[in-house]
Amino acid sequence: MSKLLDHKVAIITGAGSGIGEEMAKLFSAEGATIVVVDVVAERVEKTVSAIRAKHGTVYGMVLDMTQKDDIRKLVEDSVKIFDHIDILCNNAGIMDGFYSLEETEEEWWDKVMNINLKAPYLTTKMALPHMMHNGGGIILNTASIAGLHGGRAGLAYTVSKHGLIGFTKHVAAYYGEKGIRCNAMALGAVNTQIGYGSSKPSQVGLKIMEKTALSMGRPAEPHEIARTALFLVSKESSYVNGAVLVTDNGWTVY
């Protein structure tokens, strides 16, 4: 019996925990070969072991997604080992402590931008030629409702996710005719270890967040988001391109 992702090779960044880990396990169960990427070796080993225990094909890479050479190695090694790349999930990201403009130091701004926005830009730019050579591919970006609104996170995170959504739409517009689909998930609260991004989150930012918190409902579980991701990277969403799928339990309808 065929599976949704049979014969597909999927790179998933930030796959050592949370949403990325659940995506990796679910995509593997649906037949994909998985390239697990994370900056923490123990996390990579955990996800790889879980997939191998289910007899999935997987390759783990410990990489820093803020380093261009690491990203180049990711793409080149994936093609060298598996011959092609079908799916790229730009999932790695960090929060920003809910810091306001006044509270956001340049160093912190750069760190958030490098991981949340520059890394997807570089990874997609390097993977895209291989996808087009192979006749097409699918890119899925993990965005946030902070990319659609102004009071759901701090300055750097909010700007990075607005940028990622713009990036998604641009890639879809320019490369759709070449067989590339690029979509994003705009997530609400998810029960992961990402936390606030700082041990001392901004009280100003948290207070603004509280204005809408009562309408949030429960946070999502990572496996619920993984099922949304599976739809967007499979043939089930073959007519979906340039979309931003809000996945927030109705938080932003209020």
Q: Which are the catalytic amino acids?
A: 157
Compute, in degrees rounded to 10, the torsion defined by CA atoms 8, 59, 113, 222: 70
Give the Cβ contact number of residue 101 at 10 Å: 9
Q: What angle do CA 214, 93, 25 make, to 5 degrees?
A: 95
Give which of 52, 47, 44 is closest to 22, Cα–Cα: 47
Q: Are the C-beta atoms of residues 9 and 85 closer than 8 Å to each other?
A: yes
Identity of the residue numbered 240:
V
The secondary element (H helix, E strand) that includes residue 185 is strand 180-187
